[in-house]
Amino acid sequence: MGLLLAFVGLTGSILVFKPEISDFLTTRQFGQVITQEQQLSPEKILDITKAGYPSLQPVAIHLPKERYHPYTLQMASPDANPKVYLDGYKEVFVNPYTGALMGDRPERTSFYRLFLNLHYKLFAEDLGVAIVGIAAFLLFILSITGVILWPGWRKLTTGFKIKWNAHPKRVNFDIDKLAGIIAAAFLR
């Protein structure tokens, strides 16, 4: 269970940096936008994208966050099924100044979707959701029992003291109880 929780925690930590990582990967894959005086309107970008991808329908348009970011449009085929790894969905990148189509990639292969699916489902669909849910529930129970059993409730110094010259098992216990109570302060 510890390995599973560490894995879910690691993928969740990576997802926190989604904007930065996604911008980096998009720039590496499609190049960087050269800024100019005036950006095209979202309506014009939408028209250009519809003309470039006539078989797809626009689902969402994301405005550039910075002057050097492209417009990102989510496009879907008419028969797309959003529950099946977003099959039929594409991310299309458009230069906000020239209207040039920079490229596209399937939505299911985007950094965010891959890590989100890994974080919540372990690539196992409903079984993965159940496994992660059970592990989260057990972590919740473990956190509550850890706080209840913390020895610092009887004597505060006992809860924060590490006996470095004791047996290695005792040192491990002291580090565990200290790390546990500090981590519990950050759990919601």
pTM of the model: 0.65
Residue 126 inside a domain? The answer is no
Residue type at 76 in one-letter notation: A
Give the pair of three-digit tokens for residue 55. 């078989």
Instruction: Give the confidence band of 186 by pLDDT, cuts at 50, 70, 90.
Output: confident
Residue 28 inside a domain? The answer is yes
- The answer, yes or no, to whether residue 82 has pLDDT greater than 80, is no
User: How far apart (Å, rounded) are the C-alpha atoms in residues 57 and 116?
Assistant: 24
Based on the fold, state whether residues 111 and 188 are members of the same structural domain. no
Residue 129 inside a domain? The answer is no
Pairing of strands 101-106, 71-81: unpaired
Based on the fold, state whether residues 63 and 111 are members of the same structural domain. yes
DSSP 64: -
Residue 105 inside a domain? The answer is yes
Residue 163 inside a domain? The answer is yes
Q: What pLDDT, in 10s, does the model give residues 129-140?
A: 999 999 889 888
Based on the fold, state whether residues 157 and 94 are members of the same structural domain. no
Residue 180 sits at φ, ψ, to 5 deg, of -65, -45
Residue 102 inside a domain? The answer is yes
Q: Domain tally for the chain?
A: 2
Residue 145 inside a domain? The answer is no
pLDDT of res. 77: 83
Residue 39 inside a domain? The answer is yes
Average pLDDT in the chain? 87
Based on the fold, state whether residues 20 and 105 are members of the same structural domain. yes
User: How far apart (Å, rounded) are the C-alpha atoms in residues 62 and 131?
Assistant: 33
Q: Any residues with CB less than 8 A from the CB of 177 and at least 6 apart, and which?
A: 150, 151, 152, 159
Which residue, 118, 134, 159, sits at the end of a domain?
118
Which residue, 103, 118, 133, sits at the end of a domain?
118
| Sign of the torsion formed by the C-alpha atoms of 101, 102, 104 and 107 | negative
Task: State the residue range of the domain holding 18.
Answer: 2-118
Instruction: Give the confidence band of 121 by pLDDT, cuts at 50, 70, 90.
Output: confident
Question: Which residues is 58 bridged to in the sheet?
Answer: 75
Q: 105 near 15, Cβ under 8 Å?
A: no
Based on the fold, state whether residues 114 and 175 are members of the same structural domain. no
Nearest Cα to Cα of residue 175 among 161, 154, 187: 161
Based on the fold, state whether residues 18 and 85 are members of the same structural domain. yes
Burial string for 97-118 (b: 16+ CB within 10 Å, else e) reads bebebbebbebeebbbbebebb
